[in-house]
Amino acid sequence: MQVGCDPKHDSTRQLLNGHPSVTVLEYLRQVTPDQYSFEDIVSIGYAGVACVEAGGPEPGVGCAGRGILSTFSLLESLGVRTQNYDLILYDVLGDVVCGGFAVPIRNEYADVVYIVTSGEFMSIYSANNILRGVTHFNNSKHRIGGLIFNQRNIEGENERVERFANAVGLPILARIPRSNEFAIAERLGKTLIDCLPDSSVTGLMRELAVKITDSPKRYEANPLSESELEQVVLGKVVNRPHSFLNQQTEAFEKPLIKSTRLATSKLKRIVSKNVLYQEPLHGCAYCGAVSVSSQVSDAIVISHGPRSCAHMAYNAVTSAGRRLYNERGILLPNQVQPNIVSTDKDENIMVFGGTELLKSKIEECKKRKPSAIFVISACTSGIIGDELQALKETDDIPVIPIETDGDIAGDYMQGALMANSEIALNLVDSQVNPNPMLVNIIGERSFYKNAEDNFKAVEKLLIQLGLRINCRYLSNTPVSQIREMKKANLNIQAFTDYKGRMLRNFFEQNFNMPFFDMPFPVGFFETAVFVRKLGERFHIDKERVETLLSAETERYFERVGQLKQTLKDRRIVIILYNRDIDWLLEIIQHLEMTLVKVCVMNSCSEDHFHSRYLEDTPVEMHYEMRGKESQIRAWKPDILLSTYNASEFGDEFFTDSIPYSPDNGMFGVLDIAERWAEIFDNSLHEGWKADEKYFNWYFGTFKK
């Protein structure tokens, strides 16, 4: 395989009979992630060579280095390492100007680096820069194959290149003369070997190919300083101790197509809704990953980016925690003192790279003896190409990189999914045996203020059934519990929305973990089915289960009967983003209210709308609320329920908001309906709504 890593995308043109292939970056722009296919970006050219071109932006705009990173990320996620190529050749720009362009020469990609240079000073300068680039990626491993001299027939070029080769201790593997034959081949859209198989230059190419595939030696990168380089190239011999003749070399191993990043390639297939449908991203993956990973109670989360990113993520994590403390006096340690630290990348780091800074931050954090360290990258790290995977460790204190690269990996949900999956892949022990009466709780959302109450409600139900909770993944969870996740005999999800479904797929596919079919229940029906199904699943005495339910059922319908007196036949219109609203439709049905319309607005986090009441529900999907006031009035609702309690209707009819996260169990919904009844019974109105005109006068941007 040959991968062209230049925005000019001309590396494989001759292999493909002069026809340009689709570039990876164009492909990423045009195709949704669920449609990504390895075959789409690979063209088979001369002699069966698989050709890939990274491509890039127009000159002078964007960031081509970032494009190289995106290309390699896609190739990885599509399993390039499992394709069994004899050899993968990355054709890289000579100017290693930033971390992005240096990606192919990282340890995880290039086993051997060959440097093409001609005899001009600037070309040799670039060759030396490549050596400097290689030294940044674990130079203890010798990886330089040698120089390939592209002769230009200019005066003194042989001497200059030889002096350079000698000074840096590298052999010149081939001297390719200037020849018109290249132009002929190019005109015909063919490779030299295909076009002129018997020419002398072709012979040199064949010899070089043999050296590359059979060469026994690799050399250390020993770049020259700028002053040394000038001395060497401009004619003064520098006595450096390392000549390639006596330099220690390492035996050449046939390049192996390694699979060191399996974890990443797996997780890339779990994509958020925004990423899947290429929608505007809501929030950034970095923040989602920080929020999830900060729920590991004895780990440290390193934010690798500028301080502003860490500040925003820190406050996203503590927001619900602070409010919970203020409103209820409850202190959740992970949400008021999250273990988030920042590398505080500054201007210098942006220019010169942040890998060393990150390394030292990791060492500093290790001294505090956390059970794990998560490293999460912001946009700037992804753009300048800081290398996180190389810092991964699996020792006493695992260091787990989560390469969100700000929002380059996707939206908030994508980051949350990445953190969930990377943490599991790196920490969960697959060898643990299950205990029959243990369950895990999966995917709680700590940013909802009722998350802890909802957990307690479900925990109470589980305890009543004789079950115990093994691990809350992830909600104030220690690493030891994550490691032993497979002790649970069943996994119960807090939510089975889009994100919940992704998480379930992930755990089923990677850990073969059994999942319960229902999420935390809301409302009468779900709660009853939840308890009965759990009872069946764990062979709990039926009588015990029914006893548990019967008292609750009686109490539920007694309250419904009372509420019906006020709410029966009331006309109700619902406009919302939420998708799981059966709890709401159920109470409307139980109260015999008249459901006039359900208008579902597009949601950034869910693509399904499903309901067991679908047949009886007048649903309008993709609803846009702007300019619909007269339509809503025409429906003559007694109650307008919406995700956002709109003030447009003043006091014309009763409007109320729908919680994103309703209370679990049978009675939370009844509490909401009871409020409606109180409002109707007492004919309550809201005089304050008439004051909007004053608000607009005093506080509108342009009104005063």
Partner 1 sequence: MRNESQRPYSNQTFLEPHIYPDAFSGTLWALDGIKDGLVLLNGPTGCKFYHASVSNSQYCRGTSYNPAQIDEEFYFRQNRIPCTYLDGNDFVYGSEEKLRKALQTTVTDQHGFVAVVNSPGAALIGDNLEGVLEDELHDTPWLAMENTGFSEPFYTGFQKAALALLHCLQIPKQPTRARTVNLIGFSIYQKHHEGNIRELTRLLSLAGIQVISTPMAACACLDLIKSPSAALNVLIAPESGHEIAQWYSDHHQIPCLELPIPIGFDATEHWIKQICEQIGGNPESALEAINYARAVSFQHLHSFNALSGFPKGTFYGIKAEYSLARGLYHFLTPYLGMLPSVIAFYEEPDPILLRTFREELAEKALEGCLTEVESAPFHLLFSDGNTIAHHKARGTIFAGVEVCLPSLGYTDVIPKATMGCQGALYLIEHVINGLKFFCK
Write out the binding residues for partner 1, residues 145-204 only, by CB under 8 A: none
CA dist list (Å): 347 to 137, 275, 314, 354, 406: 22, 30, 22, 10, 17
Contacting residue, 312, 390, 469, 679, with partner 1 by CB under 8 A:
312
Please say whether the beta carbons of 659 and 641 come within 8 A. Answer: no
Q: What is the per-residue DSSP string for 50-93? A: EEEE---PPTTSS-HHHHHHHHHHHHHHTTGGGS--S--EEEE-
- Of 92 and 115, the one with the shorter C-beta distance to partner 1 is 92
CA–CA gap between residue 599 and residue 575 (Å, rounded): 5
Build a one-symbol-per-residue string for 579-608: x at contacts with partner 1 by CB under 8 A, - elsewhere.
----------------------x-------
Nearest CA to 501 among 607, 390, 574, 385? 607
Q: How far is CA 475 from the centre of its chain?
A: 20
Amino acid identity of 618?
P
Q: Hey, how many other C-beta atoms are within 10 angstroms of the C-beta on 79?
A: 13
**Contact between 570 and partner 1 (CB under 8 A)?**
no
- Of 29 and 258, the one with the shorter C-beta distance to partner 1 is 29
Select from 187-195, 252-260, 381-389, 464-472 the region that touches partner 1 (CB under 8 A): 381-389
- Of 167 and 640, the one with the shorter C-beta distance to partner 1 is 640
Build a one-symbol-per-residue string for 412-451: x at contacts with partner 1 by CB under 8 A, - elsewhere.
x---------------------------------------
Helix H or strand E segment including 655 = strand 654-657
Contacting residue, 1, 192, 349, 399, with partner 1 by CB under 8 A:
349
Least CB distance from residue 208 to partner 1, whole Å? 33
Q: Which residue has the tokens 């190739």?
A: 75
- Of 399 and 409, the one with the shorter C-beta distance to partner 1 is 409
Least CB distance from residue 349 to partner 1, whole Å? 7
Q: Which residue has the tokens 């093409």?
A: 116
CA–CA gap between residue 419 and residue 293 (Å, rounded): 6
- Of 66 and 499, the one with the shorter C-beta distance to partner 1 is 66
Instruction: Estimate the crossing angle of helix 582-590 against helix 667-681, to 10 degrees.
Output: 50
Q: What is the per-residue DSSP string for 205-254? A: HHHHHHHHHH--EEB---PPPHHHHHHHHTT-----S--TTT---EEPPP
Build a one-symbol-per-residue string for 32-71: x at contacts with partner 1 by CB under 8 A, - elsewhere.
------------------------xxx--xxxx-xx--x-
CA–CA gap between residue 70 and residue 3 (Å, rounded): 13
- Interface size with partner 1, residues (CB under 8 A): 91
Contacting residue, 382, 398, 401, 637, with partner 1 by CB under 8 A:
382
**Contact between 25 and partner 1 (CB under 8 A)?**
yes
Least CB distance from residue 67 to partner 1, whole Å? 4
Least CB distance from residue 72 to partner 1, whole Å? 13
**Contact between 97 and partner 1 (CB under 8 A)?**
no
Select from 169-177, 235-243, 274-282, 609-617 the region that touches partner 1 (CB under 8 A): 274-282
Length of the chain: 704
Write out the binding residues for partner 1, residues 639-668 only, by CB under 8 A: 643-644, 646-648
Please say whether the beta carbons of 205 and 193 come within 8 A. Answer: yes
**Contact between 550 and partner 1 (CB under 8 A)?**
no
Select from 40-48, 244-252, 400-408, 543-551 the region that touches partner 1 (CB under 8 A): 400-408
Select from 318-326, 418-426, 481-489, 611-619 the region that touches partner 1 (CB under 8 A): 318-326
Write out the binding residues for partner 1, residues 351-380 only, by CB under 8 A: 368-370, 378-380
Main-chain phi, psi angles of 80, to 5 degrees: -60, -30
Write out the binding residues for partner 1, residues 280-309 only, by CB under 8 A: 280-284, 286-287, 297-298, 300, 305-309
Sign of the dihedral defined by the CA atoms of residues 189, 9, 220, 163, in that order: positive
Least CB distance from residue 548 to partner 1, whole Å? 33
